[in-house]
Structure 1
């Protein structure tokens, strides 16, 4: 599949059935997969009121605050305050998690990956980097502007790709710039010889 560009402002918003917020789906693989059969998925959620998170059995989840006052997440295994932007927090999608708003609306970046099919990582960059080669992933500018490949991504813009190996060189193009980097590797992925450093 070819490289896809996106902008947060142009992503469709889907209201939650319980009225507690909205979701903007950025990418879901494989194409056409639903919430019960995706391999990996990235979305942006705006939480308007507290309540239980949906349980996703067999899924590893990572959440990161983008804007707002943040939330407190509580389960039998953890009690975590998500109030600092751009700091990923990973947890088990099997867990029963209660979400409490710390103030007003909270907008969060969400990464989900089905454990049996592969592994996903989310990190935030603030300096130039050469990313490891991966056939699936996503880049999104959180603050400022970034030079990515031969182009520039402004705040809220990004790219995602699936089933097409890419090696990216990314470089901040403004002071204080931050970039979200998602990479997903399927379980059956075999490293290329030049990736083994031997």
Structure 2
């Protein structure tokens, strides 16, 4: 298990230049915004506008704070907030957000045909690594059963079959599982 402390997350501009994202993890490590196989980030979305296009990339998005109406080309608009499920969509089709209340989102992107991703809320004190890479994004302070303290926006990275136990169920945590696809 690795702990990715929030202070170590990398800040970088959005691809479209209209905001800043906080990169949590990327593969290969250090890959540029147009050269990753998978990437996990959080972004503050203060105003409405189009999403950056990512050709050949699939996205999964969860709203951590705030509320927005997401319109993915060819689909009905969907209102998303902290209690909504994560939504998956292709990163290379027109997508637009109408921000109702300033949003912080969790954005997972994977190279289509090479990786898949699942994102869901985590409300269990025991988390097992099930994907090739399992990440637990914490939204509040938490304590492991071992006594180790974690802060808001810290992230746990588990490999397959690793397990972590919390003293209490982490509040507002999100589980991200990334798997490689067979050729």
Matches of 1:33 and 1:86, distance apart in 2: 30
TM-score, normalised with respect to structure 2: 0.82
Matches of 2:6 and 2:129, distance apart in 1: 25
Aligned: 1:131 with 2:128? yes
Larger Rg: 1
> Measured at CA, do residues 72 and 172 of structure 1 come closer, stay the same or move farther in structure 2, by a change above 3 Å?
farther
Gaps of 5+ in 2: none
Aligned: 1:112 with 2:109? yes
Aligned to 2:57: 59
Aligned: 1:168 with 2:166? no
Aligned to 2:174: 180
Aligned to 2:88: 90
- Out of 146-155 and 109-118, give the one that drifted further: 146-155
> Measured at CA, do residues 10 and 29 of structure 1 come closer, stay the same or move farther in structure 2, by a change above 3 Å?
closer
Count of aligned pairs between the two proteins? 182
Aligned to 1:37: 35
Gaps of 5+ in 1: 190-198
RMSD: 2.7
- Given that 1:21 and 1:49 are in contact with CA atoms closer than 8 Å, whether structure 2 keeps it comes out as no
Any residues of structure 2 matched to 1:69-84 within 5 Å, and which? 70-74=67-71, 75-84=73-82
Deviations 1:71-128 (A, max 9, x none): 111122231111234631211212201111113x211111111121121111111123
- How much has 1:172 moved relative to structure 2? 5.5
- How much has 1:142 moved relative to structure 2? 2.2
Matches of 1:100 and 1:11, distance apart in 2: 27
Deviations 1:150-193 (A, max 9, x none): 744333222236xx54422343525x72321112111139xxxx
Matches of 2:124 and 2:35, distance apart in 1: 35
> Measured at CA, do residues 124 and 145 of structure 1 come closer, stay the same or move farther in structure 2, by a change above 3 Å?
same
